[in-house]
């Protein structure tokens, strides 16, 4: 199968070397594998300047003050921290620049409200009124969130980092700020806002159809031959029925762990030369009539990342009239300013929304029982 346009999503964990004679540093890992803070042994979050100057606490892991001998030479490259990343636009339409600085975006849906077709029949023997045709509209709205953060530095920090000649403090902090935005938008797109329940992601929408009987507890990879056949035979038909026989899906997103097992397991005893992923895609392409049907994978479908009670699969039509993520103001960084030419600060800002599903019948959740 061809899933080249869906990124290979690999979760990598980063570990810090620990100095036994110093405070222990711990990484806090949140949903989606996003490493957000660095804390000392007491759980207090360290900011960049404290990490940079942590040599005073006896910890050399993040220190710029290290012992140098005549046989010591500092390498110019720096090993950067890694994060789990994926482009939301691979899984949903993203609109940039609409309604910048606004508080809310409203989208209207229209509905036919006229009488039945047969009511339009004309009876010449009767002088009756003509049947009426009409339409109604309903608004759907989503909240727009305003976001801003700043980074700062002073001449002491700047020159301390410069002495090592292998690390640009300003670039590193600017990169950290931008990475925080990227990872935040990624989490919003799939899991929604951590405190504002109005801002929802792809995995925690309300009002959608949830099927928790088709896929067995072991996932698609753990299904028996008969259970696997039932999934292939009924997955598309359940969606088609849910849309009142109006649309076919074009995207099926699985939890990453089940996807990887599917790719490595023989399909069935009757088809040992193919894996289950290949047979599943063939069935979905044939049933939907869409050669470009995409099967994707995301770790957000796993309970460890989503915070949901069960692993979740999503079958939907990936189109602008179905769902949309808005970025009214993309990430924007201002020029650094200083009031005393010793301390400098720089602000970056942007604006975003959650996912608005305008056609809820065309997005279905399949949860494990």
Q: Can you give the pLDDT at residue 114? A: 65
Q: In 3D, which of 36, 83, 10 has the Cα closest to residue 299?
A: 10
Is the Cβ–Cβ distance between 101 and 144 less than 8 Å? no
* Concatenated DSSP letters of 36-92: EEEE-TT-PBP-HHHHHTGGGGT--SS-S-----TT----S-----------GGGTS
Q: Can you give the pLDDT at residue 153? A: 87
Tokens of 141: 């709205």
Residue 253 has pLDDT above 60, yes or no: yes
What pLDDT digit, counting tens, does each position of 183-195 carry? 999 999 999 999 9
CA–CA dist 342, 340 (Å, integer): 5
Its sign, for the CA torsion 301, 305, 307, 309, is positive
118 CB-side CA count, 13 A: 0
Q: Can you give the pLDDT at residue 66? A: 62
Q: What share of the chain in percent tops pLDDT 90?
A: 52
Mean pLDDT value across the chain: 79
Is the Cβ–Cβ distance between 202 and 92 less than 8 Å? yes
Q: Which residue has the higher pLDDT, 324 or 171?
A: 324
Is the Cβ–Cβ distance between 166 and 76 less than 8 Å? yes
By three-state DSSP, how is residue 114 classified? coil
CA–CA dist 230, 235 (Å, integer): 8
The helix or strand, by DSSP H or E, that contains position 327, with its residue range, turns out to be: strand 323-327
Q: In 3D, which of 201, 220, 215 has the Cα closest to residue 258?
A: 220
What pLDDT digit, counting tens, does each position of 116-131 carry? 766 766 776 666 676 7
Residue with tokens 């995995």: 203
Q: Using CB atoms within 10 A of its CB, is residue 294 exposed (0-12), middle (13-18) or buried (19+)? A: buried
What pLDDT digit, counting tens, does each position of 302-357 carry? 999 888 899 999 999 999 999 999 999 999 999 888 989 999 999 999 999 999 99
pTM comes to: 0.74
């Amino acid at each position: 199968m061809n899933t080249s346009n869906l990124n290979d999503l690999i979760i990598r964990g980063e570990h810090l070397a620990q100095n036994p004679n110093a405070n222990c540093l711990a990484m806090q890992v949140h949903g989606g594998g996003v490493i957000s803070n660095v804390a000392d042994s007491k759980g207090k979050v360290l900011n960049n300047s404290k990490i940079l100057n942590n040599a005073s606490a006896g910890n050399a892991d993040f220190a710029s003050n290290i012992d140098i001998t005549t046989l010591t030479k500092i390498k110019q490259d720096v090993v950067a921290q890694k994060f789990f990343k994926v482009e939301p636009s691979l899984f949903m339409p993203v609109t940039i620049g609409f309604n910048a600085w606004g508080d809310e975006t409203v989208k209207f849906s229209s509905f036919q409200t006229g009488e039945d077709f047969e009511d339009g029949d004309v009876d010449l023997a009767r002088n009756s009124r003509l049947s009426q045709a009409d339409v109604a509209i309903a608004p759907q709205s989503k909240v727009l969130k305003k976001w801003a953060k700043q980074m700062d530095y002073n001449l002491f920090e700047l020159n301390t980092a410069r002495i090592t000649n292998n690390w640009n403090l300003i670039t590193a902090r600017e990169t950290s700020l931008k990475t925080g935005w990227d990872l935040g938008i990624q989490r919003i797109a799939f899991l929604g806002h951590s405190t504002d329940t109005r801002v929802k992601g792809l995995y925690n929408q309300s009002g959608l159809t949830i099927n928790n009987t088709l896929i067995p507890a072991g996932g698609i990879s753990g299904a028996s031959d008969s259970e696997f056949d039932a999934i292939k035979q009924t997955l598309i038909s359940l969606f088609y029925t849910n849309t009142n026989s109006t649309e076919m899906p074009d995207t099926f997103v699985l939890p990453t762990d089940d996807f990887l097992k599917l790719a490595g397991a023989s399909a069935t005893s009757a088809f040992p030369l193919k894996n289950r992923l290949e047979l599943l895609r063939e069935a979905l392409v044939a049933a939907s009539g869409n050669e470009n049907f995409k099967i994707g994978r995301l770790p957000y479908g796993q309970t460890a990342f989503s915070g949901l009670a069960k692993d979740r699969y999503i079958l939907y039509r990936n189109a602008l009239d179905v769902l949309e993520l808005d970025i009214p103001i993309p990430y924007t960084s201002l020029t650094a300013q200083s009031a005393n030419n010793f301390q400098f600060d720089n602000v970056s800002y942007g604006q975003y929304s959650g996912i608005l599903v305008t056609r809820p019948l065309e997005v279905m959740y399949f949860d494990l029982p």
